Amino acid sequence: MNSSTSSHGPLLPLTPSSSAARTQQPQSSQHHQQHRVTPQPPSQPQLQPQLQPQPQPQPQLVPMNGMNGGNMAGGMHGPTPAGHHTELGYIYQMVEELSRQLADNQRTLEEVVAGVGRVRNLARAHALGNDEVIESAADEAKAQEANLDTLISILSEALEKAKFSRDANAALLSQYASALATMLRQFHEYKAKHVADVAAWHRSYRAQLAEARAENSRLREQIWEMQARAAAANEALRRFRARYDADEARWERRVDAKAVRQQLRFWKRMAMPYLDDDDPCWSDDDDLIDVAEKKRLEELQRLASEQQLAAAAAAELGDIVGSAGEDGEVPPEAPSVPGMPHGAMGGVPMRREEGGSIIPPVPPPRPSSVASSTGSSGQ
């Protein structure tokens, strides 16, 4: 114990003046002093009380405003040149940086003094020397190695997970960037194609519209020309009719011919009373429609009426077959007269229904000459 004490030397008490003096030294000298400070052995008769960290007074810095730049006396007044003002600002920044470093050094020194105090209290409580204190510190460090290994393994695992997550996030981000770039490229391509298609459609539409307008203009011109020619033809026809009717002899012959035909029709009616009043024979269009054409029209009307009657008979027969199919019986077919087409005689066969109603036969279409009392076509 004595040899170890003599080798390290007696412990020197720490005073506030020595602590204040150390604050002016750099941080490297503070660490050197930390290693040199050793706990005092219990064999020394006088023990200094444990030092508590005392708050150090902070230097009061007066802000520089160009008039008192170096904390100069206020006796000198006058504007500061621009160059001096820049230099004073730079010096003020340096002073602030040094003040911050000084505060950091002071805080570090307080931590060192607190650690030395804890070591000294431990040595005083257990009556340990320097070597024993070092051995106890080594034992504590070895005891914490297991915890450090566990913590290192946990931190290593967390680091691996973080790296894996970082790689996965980077891959996902690259995929997202590539997909977004592809979408953006496709969108630009679609937009360009759409703009080109719309422009082409507009050009085609304008061309078709211009062509349609030109065709419409040509048709309008043709219609106007046709209307002008028709007006001229109508005017010529009106003049011709006026001149044609102006001849009194021709007009008298026309009136006489009309009267003779009416008288002939009257005597025909008297001689043939069995003909109906709406018979085409009494029409006043003998001079307009040919007799053969009238016969052909009569034949067409007769065929149309027969077809209508046959269709009505077929529809009625279908209803009868449908109703008999429900009962399971089919009615017998009506016999036809030889040499005469089916449906030509008797019209539609009568059939009694449950309600007692009778379907009347469909009448043939009316001729066009029935519209007027005289049978004329209006011409």
Q: Give the pLDDT confidence score for residue 80 in this predicted structure.
A: 61
CB 342 within 8 A of CB 250: no
Q: Give the pLDDT confidence score for residue 88 in this predicted structure.
A: 85
CB 21 within 8 A of CB 71: no
Q: Give the pLDDT confidence score for residue 208 in this predicted structure.
A: 96
| Cα distances (angstroms) measured from residue 118 to each of 31, 39, 130, 166 | 17, 10, 14, 43
Length of the chain: 379
| Cα distances (angstroms) measured from residue 335 to each of 332, 340, 349 | 9, 11, 12
Q: Give the pLDDT confidence score for residue 290 in this predicted structure.
A: 64
Q: Give the pLDDT confidence score for residue 14 in this predicted structure.
A: 42
d(CA 370, CA 138) in angstroms, rounded, equals 139
CB 124 within 8 A of CB 50: no
Interhelix angle 130-245/248-271, nearest 10 degrees: 100
d(CA 38, CA 133) in angstroms, rounded, equals 9
Domain residue ranges in the chain: 289-322
CB 72 within 8 A of CB 91: no
CA angle 61, 64, 66 (to 5 degrees): 160
CA atoms within 13 A on the CB side of 128: 17
CB 4 within 8 A of CB 130: yes
Per residue in 55-68, is it b (16+ CB within 10 Å) or e — as a string?
eeeeeeeeebeeee
Q: Give the pLDDT confidence score for residue 326 in this predicted structure.
A: 52
Q: What is the pLDDT along the chain (379 residues), one digit of tens a residue?
A: 343 333 343 344 444 444 443 444 434 444 444 444 444 444 333 333 344 444 454 445 444 544 454 454 444 555 666 667 788 888 988 999 999 999 999 999 998 898 888 878 878 887 777 777 777 777 776 766 767 778 888 999 999 999 999 999 999 999 999 999 999 999 999 999 999 999 999 999 999 999 999 999 999 999 999 999 999 999 999 999 999 888 888 889 988 988 888 888 888 888 888 877 777 667 666 555 666 777 888 899 999 999 999 999 998 888 776 655 555 555 555 444 444 444 444 444 444 444 444 555 555 555 454 444 444 444 3
Which residue's structure tokens are 């006088």? 46
CB 245 within 8 A of CB 251: yes
